[in-house]
């Protein structure tokens, strides 16, 4: 499995012959590695953790361009369907689906999820995280969330080896609480800090996070950098 960080909470995962994008916020993302899209020959699946614009991002355009299937909360799927996306796998928290050798399980996250249209919030269902499993490796993308004790159940049930964990603070966990999540509730072999440094408000320091983590190897990636697991 090859995991490439594209800045913020956006990832490109390649496994089981599938190309999977998570939260593809590219346009307006100062950390997005420019030109990366030109390297893509296909996108099979787009996974969305929640409906905020910095996660929904370029989903509609990319889904149409590549004919990708969107995997997300039911409400998000209906929203993008209204914008012309035809291939959808709506689901909800606690459910799992399997597509082309890859298993997608939606797990809880504590955050909010809406888009603003004409000054009015439009509900996009509940925020979520995902455990994506392929070729014997499970990856936990925590989405945008605070720390919560049921992360221990996510670890127990799905046994992720890799964690993509927000550390930016203010809107998600910061370094201290993200490290607590990894030390107390999760048992990850590899941890990638995400959702940091995109904007000035996201002041959480991934190096401070790494210093606090007592189990698992922290990999601080640069945008566009890949990890093989």
pLDDT by residue, tens only, the chain of 229 residues: 999 999 999 999 999 999 999 999 999 999 999 999 999 999 999 999 999 999 999 999 999 999 999 999 999 999 999 999 999 999 999 999 999 999 999 999 999 999 888 888 888 999 999 999 999 999 999 999 999 999 999 999 999 999 999 999 999 999 999 999 999 999 999 999 999 999 999 999 999 999 999 999 999 999 999 999 9
3-state SS, residue 59 = helix
Alpha-carbon gap, residue 197 to 9, rounded angstroms: 11
226-228 vs 120-123, strand pairing mode: unpaired
Strands (E) in 100-143, as ranges, are: 102-108, 114-117, 120-123, 128-134, 137-141
pLDDT of residue 119: 87
Alpha-carbon gap, residue 155 to 161, rounded angstroms: 9
pLDDT of residue 118: 85
Q: Can you read off the two tokens belonging to residue 112? A: 């909010």
pLDDT of residue 55: 98
In the block, which residue shows the tokens 């439009």? 122
- The pTM of this model reads 0.98
pLDDT of residue 213: 98
Taking phi over 0 as left and psi of -120 to 50 as alpha, with beta for the rest, 23 belongs to left
2-221 adopts what CATH topology?
Answer: Metallo-beta-lactamase; Chain A (3.60.15)
pLDDT of residue 122: 86
């Amino acid at each position: 499995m090859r995991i490439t960080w594209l800045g913020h909470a956006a990832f490109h995962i390649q496994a089981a012959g599938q190309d999977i994008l998570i939260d593809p916020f590219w346009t307006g993302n100062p950390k997005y590695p420019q030109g990366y899209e030109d390297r893509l020959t296909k996108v099979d699946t787009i996974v969305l953790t929640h409906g905020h614009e910095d996660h929904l991002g370029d989903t509609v355009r990319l889904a149409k361009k590549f004919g990708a299937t969107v995997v997300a909360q039911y409400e998000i799927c209906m929203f993008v369907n209204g914008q012309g996306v035809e291939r959808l796998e709506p689901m909800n928290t606690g459910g799992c689906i399997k597509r082309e050798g890859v298993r997608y399980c939606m797990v809880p996250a504590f955050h909010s999820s809406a888009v603003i249209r004409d000054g009015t919030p439009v509900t996009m269902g509940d925020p979520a995280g995902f455990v994506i499993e392929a070729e014997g490796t499970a990856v936990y993308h925590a989405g945008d969330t605070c720390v919560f004790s049921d992360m221990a159940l996510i670890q127990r049930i799905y046994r992720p080896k890799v964690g993509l964990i927000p550390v930016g603070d203010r809107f998600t966990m910061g370094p201290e609480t993200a490290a607590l999540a990894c030390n107390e509730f999760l048992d990850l072999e590899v941890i990638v800090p995400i959702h940091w440094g995109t904007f000035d408000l996201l002041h959480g320091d991934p190096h401070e996070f790494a210093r606090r983590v007592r189990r698992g190897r922290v990999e601080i990636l640069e945008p566009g950098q890949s990890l093989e697991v």
